[in-house]
Amino acid sequence: MDALATMLLTKLLATGEMVSAGRRTRAASLTGSALKPYSESRHLLERESFEAAVRAAADAGAVALEYEKGLGSDRPIVRITLLDVDALAIFLGQPTRHSIAAQARASLAGWFETFPVLESVFSRWESLYKVRGIGPERAMDWADAAAVIVHMTHDTRVREEDLPIREVSAKLFLDSKRIEQLTAPLDVLLSGDIEAEPRVPSDVWAEVGLRREDQPVRLAGAVVVRRQRVSALLDTPYGAFPAPTVLGIDGAPAFVLTIENQTTFYSEAKRRADDNVLLIYTAGMPSPAWRAMYERLLADLPSGTPVLHWGDVDEGGFRIAANVAEAARRAGHVLQPYRMSPADIPEDRRRPVAGGQAGRMRAFAAKAGWAELAVVLAESEFTAEQEVLD
């Protein structure tokens, strides 16, 4: 087929699909500016080749042709109007976005019950939008991401240690880098929300128990921690140990405080190294092995010991808090927020909240069990990183 005709009819098909998806109201057509390469061509054979191609499309019932007014059979074409999206796709030998989405839905049919967010993904695709830059032609990415989550959920080793991401990837897909390529769909499936703020890859992998390199747990405070080979007072300003080797705590610290960010943890560790407290760095989103260690530590605490968490006042911070709170509940304790109320943030250190982030912050705060804070967040509409606090 004529190259120019193929290019313009493909453009017309794309426009027609936008009309069908409700993203455009005007009928799909090609007029003066689009047809300029044809109308201004001085080569008779080129014009005839183009005209033959679009007439064939008209004969197939895909388009209607409008000619310049006047007499004679050599009048140029001045408008090409799309009549039937499917007919034009068949004529061009191209799949429609709708047919690609339908094939994708069929290939992912077994995952909808486990991951209901896929319905939102398909709703976006049917409106000709991508989700995290991924369209329905890459449906296998979502199937592979779902398989990774299910696999890691059933791998009992993740309660003891984080697994090397490339080793797991090689065993699952015979491709050591495949899981790293699935970070975006993994993030969406884990969050259950296509609008959720994208996270850094390490936080996504940590949530299911994967790591690129070892991440020891950092603990601080003047407390005795039981480990596999020794029970000893933590070094100053902090100690770092593999999560499986941390077995429990001796004594009764005044409180336990988990801290999301590294800079804040280091500052607090230095400041409180000689205090009867236990500070724990979550390293962003805590992994299953970290959460198992956290539960072991909390299991030794006397009832009523304050269990606190300090993180960013943003969507990611409250999501991490909800994750930590769930682990605390399993250990029989109630997690409380520390310096995470809007009232704790000076006005000159606040950032305007973006999009639907405020609603998701409130949802995660409520999931953490912080109903009163969720109400306060509804009235604040700003975010802040914990590092901005003195």
User: When comparing pLDDT for 227 and 374, which is higher?
Assistant: 227
Q: Which of 138-147, 199-208, 277-286, 356-365 has the lowest mean pLDDT?
A: 356-365
* Residues whose CB falls within 8 Å of the CB of residue 171, separated by 6 or more in sequence, listed in order: none
pLDDT of residue 228: 95
User: What is the per-residue pLDDT across 64-95, written as a single tens digit (0 to 9) for each?
Assistant: 999 988 766 678 999 999 999 999 999 999 99
Q: Across residues 92-99, what is the average pLDDT?
A: 92
Q: Across residues 41-56, what is the average pLDDT?
A: 92
pLDDT of residue 21: 85
Residue 388: band (very low, low, confident or very high) from pLDDT cuts 50, 70, 90: low
User: What is the per-residue pLDDT across 227-243, written as a single tens digit (0 to 9) for each?
Assistant: 999 999 999 999 999 99
pTM of the model: 0.82
User: What is the per-residue pLDDT across 130-144, written as a single tens digit (0 to 9) for each?
Assistant: 999 999 999 999 999
Is residue 187 scored above 90 in pLDDT? yes
* Total count of residues recorded for the chain: 390
| DSSP character at residue 364 | H
Residue 217: band (very low, low, confident or very high) from pLDDT cuts 50, 70, 90: very high
Task: Tell me how far apart the alpha carbons of residues 343 and 233 are, in angstroms, rounded to a whole number.
Answer: 36
Helix (H) or strand (E) holding 231: strand 231-233
What value does the mean pLDDT of the chain take? 92
pLDDT of residue 92: 95
Distances (CA, A) of 130 to 75, 133, 238, 310: 42, 5, 45, 35
Query: Smallest Cα–Cα separation from 50: which of 89, 7, 82, 91?
Result: 7
Give the rounded percent of residues in the chain with a pLDDT score beyond 90. 76
Helices 315-330 and 288-299 pack at an angle, to 10 degrees, of: 50
DSSP assignment string, 5-64? HHHHHHHHHHHHHHHHTTS--SPPEE-TTTTHHHHT---HHHHHHHHHHHHHHHHTTSEE
Residue 385: band (very low, low, confident or very high) from pLDDT cuts 50, 70, 90: low
Distances (CA, A) of 99 to 85, 149, 185, 351: 11, 28, 21, 43
Q: Across residues 345-374, what is the average pLDDT?
A: 82
Helix (H) or strand (E) holding 78: strand 77-82
Residues 154/120, Cβ–Cβ less than 8 Å: no
pLDDT of residue 264: 93
pLDDT of residue 343: 79
Rg of the chain, C-alpha, whole Å: 29
Residues 242/215, Cβ–Cβ less than 8 Å: no
Which amino acid, residue 309?
H
Task: Tell me how far apart the alpha carbons of residues 270 and 131 are, in angstroms, rounded to a whole number.
Answer: 43
Q: Across residues 11-18, what is the average pLDDT?
A: 93
User: What is the per-residue pLDDT across 244-267, written as a single tens digit (0 to 9) for each?
Assistant: 999 999 989 999 999 999 999 999
Which amino acid, residue 376?
V
Q: Evaluate the CA torsion angle 331, 207, 149, 186 in order and state its sign.
A: positive
63, β-bridge pairs: 82
Residue 293: band (very low, low, confident or very high) from pLDDT cuts 50, 70, 90: very high
Task: Tell me how far apart the alpha carbons of residues 273 and 235 are, in angstroms, rounded to a whole number.
Answer: 8
| H-helix segments, the chain | 3-20, 36-39, 44-59, 85-92, 97-107, 117-126, 139-154, 165-173, 178-181, 183-191, 201-208, 262-272, 288-299, 315-330, 357-367, 371-377
Q: Evaluate the CA torsion angle 263, 306, 319, 299 in order and state its sign.
A: positive
Query: Smallest Cα–Cα separation from 253: which of 219, 203, 214, 206?
Result: 219
pLDDT of residue 387: 59
Direct distance between the N- and C-terminal alpha carbons of the chain, in angstroms, rounded to an integer? 69
Is residue 176 scored above 80 in pLDDT? yes
Query: Smallest Cα–Cα separation from 162: which of 201, 205, 191?
Result: 205
